A and B are shown apart, each in its own frame.
Chain A
Amino acid sequence: MSTPVATRPFAVAGVARAARVRRYGLWLAAAVVLLLLPQSVRTGTAIAVMNQMGIAVIFALSFNMLLGQGGMLSFGHAVYFGLGGFIAAHVLNMAGRGAIYLPVPLLPLVGGLGGLAFAVLFGSFSTRRAGTVFSMISLGVAELMAASSLIFDKFFGGEEGITTNRSKAPLLLGLEFTRDRQVYYLIAFWLFVATLAMYAFSRTPVGRMANAVRDNPERAEFVGYSQHRVRFVSFCAAGFFAGIAGGLFAVNYEILTAENMGLNASGAVLLMAYIGGIGAFVGPIVGAVVFTFLQSMLSDYTGMWLLYLGILFLATVLFVPMGLAGLLMLHAPVWRARRVGRLLGPYVLTGALGFVAAVGIIGLLEMVHFVAAGRTGTRRLFWLVVAPRTLMPWLGFAALVVAGAVGVRWTGPRAVAAFAEASRPGRP
């Protein structure tokens, strides 16, 4: 603020150079991490989960081109993921028969072009309006595709879906994709390229205008841009990248069913983007990783994992609408001012009490699930063996909920106040 005007250009140039180094460094670091990640894990399950994450990240980022960047809440984004996937699966089968020449590494591009083609088709009318009308049309298109999957069962394969075999396609540079680990590198490559491309898109004229149209469509028209056209371009780009994710899905799982383009899949990507945070570019990346991790981990432990993800989504919407990434970025000023230490106490205390309440809630829910399933006897919960058909564990977990909730009500506002105090500008 107090920098003399004369020295400002130099300061700005220095800052710009530092920012550039930081930015390219970040991409480079991401590439290195992607390359080394498989070395850090031993089990095939971990590779499978990482493959799933990579696909989810591309899909969630493409979704956020609509919601976060363009202000379009779509309830049917999986349509472009699924159609891209189906087209890729059919093309892979054709390549396997030798009808066309197409090696596996290029298949995601086929999925992308498939997603793009349908985004052009459906986007041409659905992007005419923003807001609720857009959302309703996206829902309508999703229903339309669900109905079509029953009608065109040659293309969608009916209940069984379409299966394919990536090992039958011709090789490019001798690259084989028989094992999950090999597919990992293919997904990692496309993840890197697609993320870079989506980030770059947000920095182009039409990408900036997508933000402008999101904020104020009327004013955008008075600076020369058709809001319909700006939304349409974003929509097509989002369909393209969703199709790339769908193509990778076809390669990875070698099967696509109508479920992949259904409302559940569209809902899942909305949850991912929102949990991670739609206001920041990295938000959907964080959300997709967390969501996929919880999904694969929780489903090993409990049949109610979907319920827990739902609760996580509700908690995000209610208490952290900026999402996990948004919450972290909120703390950037505190970090720069080196005041994180002051937050440690209140945060740890609130977190611990919140954990106690969560343990209580999970215990109660799991016991409800146990009893409702008509089971008797005992089961393991956390570090305990409990008998849900007796009174004591109910009282115990209820006590945890009450103690945790009362505690958080008391410490929560103090943690918020501590944050407000620490993020206030000025000398410590």
Chain B
Amino acid sequence: MTPAIELSDVRKSFGATPIIRGVSLAIEAGTRQALIGPNGAGKSTLFNLITGKYPVTSGRIRVKGADVTDLAPYEINRRGLARSFQVTNIFTRMSVFENIRCAVLWSAGYRYSFWHRVSAARAVNERAETVLEQLNLAARRDVPAGVLSYAEQRALEIGITIAGGADVILLDEPTAGMSRSETERVIALIRQVSAGKTLLMIEHDMSVIFDLADRIAVLVYGEIIAHDTPERIRGNAAVQEAYLGVPAEVV
């Protein structure tokens, strides 16, 4: 089966500094996987390469078998890959509902249309309402997104990512800065919206990872040092040494 995402010897340098140093990784379609690694390992950079935000220095990236290495972010998104951001990245002056609706428009085939009324685009509006309900943000529908609380903005961030119906979803630290109960709600949401899809998620919370991920990829100093099931990652000496530190933390 064709992997959802496939990286072949991907390298990225900023100036003379290599950040990603030859990553080859295949993410099987329909799995939930986590990308972990210490701060500065290059996790977000890797996301930025996959989604087209940064150009690679060398190597190839394929999404669902098609080469996307030199494509712009919007072209990659149109192939069914969507991402969220570590730092909340929403349309602050537009309403919560409009934020979601904007994320639905392209996938619903409206492109750059100036001959349709959005209010008459029934499927789009229904989809946006459904996503709002899923996010538990229906009560905040008409509020400008900029005035939402932090946790609500993080939920909206995920909502914008999944609203277009992408089947490859990349989430960059979706639970960062959240309380335990908020984290649990978000994880339930992620589990729900990623069902039957491919999920790759950067995460620091080990309990979340071991709970959700089918496989874990460990990135250290720009290299993948392990890519395996949670149990085997837990027992991997190199991972423990490089990243997890004392084994007690794993539990």
The answer to the question of B212 belonging to the interface, with a C-beta cut-off of 8 Å to chain A, is: no
B residues in contact with A203, CB < 8 Å: 117-119
Is A221's CB under 8 angstroms from B94's CB? no
A residues in contact with B93, CB < 8 Å: 211, 214-215
A residues in contact with B219, CB < 8 Å: none
A9 to B96, CA, bound (A): 19
* Chain B contacts with A in 30-56, Cβ cutoff 8 A: 51, 53
Is B114's CB under 8 angstroms from A216's CB? no
Known interface pairs A223-B77, A226-B74. Does A211 touch B117 (Cβ–Cβ under 8 Å)? no
Is A212's CB under 8 angstroms from B94's CB? yes
* Chain A contacts with B in 175-219, Cβ cutoff 8 A: 200-201, 203-209, 211-212, 214-216, 218-219
Give 1 or 0 for each of B75-102: 1 = CB within 8 Å of chain A CB.
0011000110100011111100010011
Q: What's the least CB distance linking A233 to chain B, in Å?
A: 5
Is A205's CB under 8 angstroms from B110's CB? yes
Known interface pairs A201-B114, A223-B106. Does A208 touch B77 (Cβ–Cβ under 8 Å)? no
Q: What's the least CB distance linking A361 to chain B, in Å?
A: 35
B residues in contact with A208, CB < 8 Å: 94, 98, 101-102, 105, 118
Q: What's the least CB distance linking B102 to chain A, in Å?
A: 5
A205 to B111, CA, bound (A): 7
Q: What's the least CB distance linking A92 to chain B, in Å?
A: 29
The answer to the question of B24 belonging to the interface, with a C-beta cut-off of 8 Å to chain A, is: no
Identify which of B51, B74, B94, B117 gathers the most chain A CB atoms within 10 Å of its CB: B74
Q: Which of B53, B77, B91, B113 sits near A204, CB closer than 8 Å? A: B113
Is A205's CB under 8 angstroms from B98's CB? no
B residues in contact with A219, CB < 8 Å: 85, 89-91, 160
B residues in contact with A226, CB < 8 Å: 72, 74
A residues in contact with B53, CB < 8 Å: 218
Is A223's CB under 8 angstroms from B89's CB? no
A residues in contact with B73, CB < 8 Å: 221-222
A1 to B143, CA, bound (A): 13
Is A233's CB under 8 angstroms from B114's CB? yes
Is A211's CB under 8 angstroms from B72's CB? no
B residues in contact with A308, CB < 8 Å: none
A209 to B98, CA, bound (A): 10
| Nearest CB in chain B to that of A236: its residue | B114
Give 1 or 0 for each of A310-342: 1 = CB within 8 Å of chain B CB.
000000000000000000000000000000000
A333 to B16, CA, bound (A): 56
Question: How many residues of chain A are within 8 Å of chain B by beta carbon?
Answer: 28
Q: What's the least CB distance linking A120 to chain B, in Å?
A: 14
| Nearest CB in chain A to that of B121: its residue | A205
A residues in contact with B160, CB < 8 Å: 219, 223
A201 to B53, CA, bound (A): 30
The answer to the question of A230 belonging to the interface, with a C-beta cut-off of 8 Å to chain B, is: yes
Is B90's CB under 8 angstroms from A204's CB? no
B residues in contact with A50, CB < 8 Å: none
A135 to B91, CA, bound (A): 22
The answer to the question of B116 belonging to the interface, with a C-beta cut-off of 8 Å to chain A, is: yes
Known interface pairs A200-B117, A209-B105, A215-B93. Does A221 touch B74 (Cβ–Cβ under 8 Å)? yes
Is A215's CB under 8 angstroms from B89's CB? no
Q: What's the least CB distance linking A79 to chain B, in Å?
A: 22
Is A216's CB under 8 angstroms from B92's CB? yes
A residues in contact with B174, CB < 8 Å: none
A residues in contact with B113, CB < 8 Å: 204-206
B residues in contact with A220, CB < 8 Å: 74, 91, 102
The chain A residues found within 8 Å of chain B, CB to CB, are: 1, 200-201, 203-209, 211-212, 214-216, 218-226, 229-230, 233, 237
In the complex, besides A205-B105, A212-B94, A233-B112, 15 extra interface pairs with C-beta distance below 8 angstroms are: A1-B139, A204-B116, A205-B110, A205-B113, A209-B105, A214-B93, A215-B90, A215-B91, A216-B92, A219-B89, A219-B91, A223-B103, A223-B163, A224-B74, A226-B72
User: Can you report 16 residue pairs joining A to B where beta carbons are below 8 Å apart?
Assistant: A204-B118, A205-B105, A205-B112, A207-B118, A208-B101, A208-B102, A209-B105, A219-B91, A221-B74, A222-B82, A223-B106, A223-B160, A223-B163, A224-B78, A225-B74, A229-B112
